[in-house]
Amino acid sequence: MVTDALNNRDRRIAIVTYTNNNLREIEKRFAELNSGIPKHVEVMTWFSFLLRECARPYQRSKFDEKRIESLLFVNKHSTQGIPECQTKKYYIAGEDFIYSDKISRFVVECEEKSSMAVTSRLKRIYTDIFVDEFQDLAGWDFEVVQMLMRSGISVTLVGDPRQHIYSTHPSPKNKKYIGIGFVDLAKTWNRKGVCSVEHMNATYRCNGLICDFSNGLWPNMDAMTPLRNDTIDHQGVYLVAESLIKDYVDRFKPQVLRHDKRANTYGQEALNFGVAKGLEFERVLIIPTKPIKKYLATGIIDHAIKSRDRLHVAVTRAWHSVAFVFDGHSPIVSNRWNSEADNRYGKVPSLKEVIPALGQSQRSTDIA
């Protein structure tokens, strides 16, 4: 998306993503390639897009008492039992906040009641809208996306069905299309001629060994193909004994990842799997949950089927190496890091290290 945006400076482009972490990663990518976000591009979160660009400009077509100032984020269904026709009670929290699980429907209602003024305005502002993290959209979000696709704006949806950790909101509407289900939705749109579908299985982030492990989590999906081919010490997937965690962290400085705050992190600073979504690191050390430990011990994915999205996210944050804190044997991870071995850092000795050693050995023989 970033490269496409930079290569099309004659367009007016919005890049929309769900999580703040991914927003910062996109901004970081622009900084690396362009010293910042160019004037023809705007980057914003999905909820900022819905509120600023869709709901507010024509909110009077649906709610004209007060300007909607912000969102009230909720993790469950708000205003249950209240019919949609009671506009203020259904959509509005307090005097001027809109419920996060209701804003997408509010946008669709504004579009209908304003004779498509919402998308007409967007078309005057943007030629292209890129929506990232599409797998995390839910409920009425899909209706907003279809609304955009009918507008004449060029809409590009980017999503990875293996990375569904969060949803924008809880909703029974379009529930079957959440997460991996969005693949079926895309196929349906494709059959109807609404959009074309392009499969992109290449990754610039992870090396081949990490891709191999991650591909094993999804045996019925197309495998990821690595485009990273760095030559660097300590690459791949490893097991690390609990007793060696400090040594390993001191040596390789991995980002420690855990499922949630209940995990024992052995005194190390850690990020939750979900918080790490959208980020990337040179190396990660994963504190496995019980289901993940069962998967490591058996190689049977059914043990971790409910947590494989989060495991996939955790594993694919790394460029060079992934390590699991695990004392047992694993049929799917053969490398165990051992700080006492001669190649204790998982490192192949360089010629500079080997030649002096050979010379020392020869001198010892001569003396003898």
Which pLDDT score, from 0 to 100, does residue 346 have?
A: 42
The model's confidence at residue 340, banded by pLDDT at 50, 70 and 90, is low
The model's confidence at residue 247, banded by pLDDT at 50, 70 and 90, is very high
361 has pLDDT over 80: no
CB 133 within 8 A of CB 20: no
The model's confidence at residue 216, banded by pLDDT at 50, 70 and 90, is very high
The model's confidence at residue 202, banded by pLDDT at 50, 70 and 90, is confident
Neighbours of 242 (CB within 10 A): 11
Quote the Cα angle for 109-112-113, to 5°. 85
Nearest to 97 by CA among 145, 63, 53, 54: 63
Average pLDDT, the chain: 89
Which pLDDT score, from 0 to 100, does residue 180 have?
A: 81
Q: Structural domain boundaries of the chain?
A: 2-200, 219-352
Which pLDDT score, from 0 to 100, does residue 367 have?
A: 37
Edge to edge, the sheet with strand 92-93 lists 70-72, 97-99, 92-93
Quick one: average pLDDT of 246-250? 95
Q: pLDDT per residue over 117-175, tens digit each?
A: 999 999 999 999 999 999 899 999 999 999 999 999 999 999 888 888 888 988 889 98
Q: Which residues pair with 97 in a beta bridge?
A: 70, 93
Q: Tell me the CB-side half-sphere exposure of residue 112, using CA atoms within 13 A.
A: 9
Q: Nearest 5°: phi and psi at 301?
A: -65, -25
3-state SS of 166-222 is: CCCCCCCCCHHHCHHHHHHHHHHHHHCCCCCCCCCCEECCCCHHHHHHHHCCCCCCC
Best-predicted range by mean pLDDT (76-85, 192-201, 322-331)? 322-331
Find the range with the poorest average confidence among 51-55, 83-87, 191-195, 349-353. Answer: 349-353
Q: Which residues pair with 87 in a beta bridge?
A: none
Quick one: average pLDDT of 7-27? 94
Class of domain 2-200: alpha beta
233 has pLDDT over 70: yes
Distance between start and end Cα atoms, the chain: 67
pLDDT over 70, % of the chain: 92
350 has pLDDT over 60: no
| Entry pTM | 0.81
Identify the sign of the CA torsion 228, 233, 238, 241: negative
Best-predicted range by mean pLDDT (49-58, 72-81, 181-190, 273-282)? 49-58
Burial of 137 (0-12, 13-18, 19+ CB in 10 A): buried
Class of domain 219-352: alpha beta
Which pLDDT score, from 0 to 100, does residue 56 have?
A: 96
352 has pLDDT over 50: no
Q: pLDDT per residue over 269-305, tens digit each?
A: 999 998 998 889 999 999 999 999 999 999 999 999 9
208 has pLDDT over 80: yes
106 has pLDDT over 90: yes
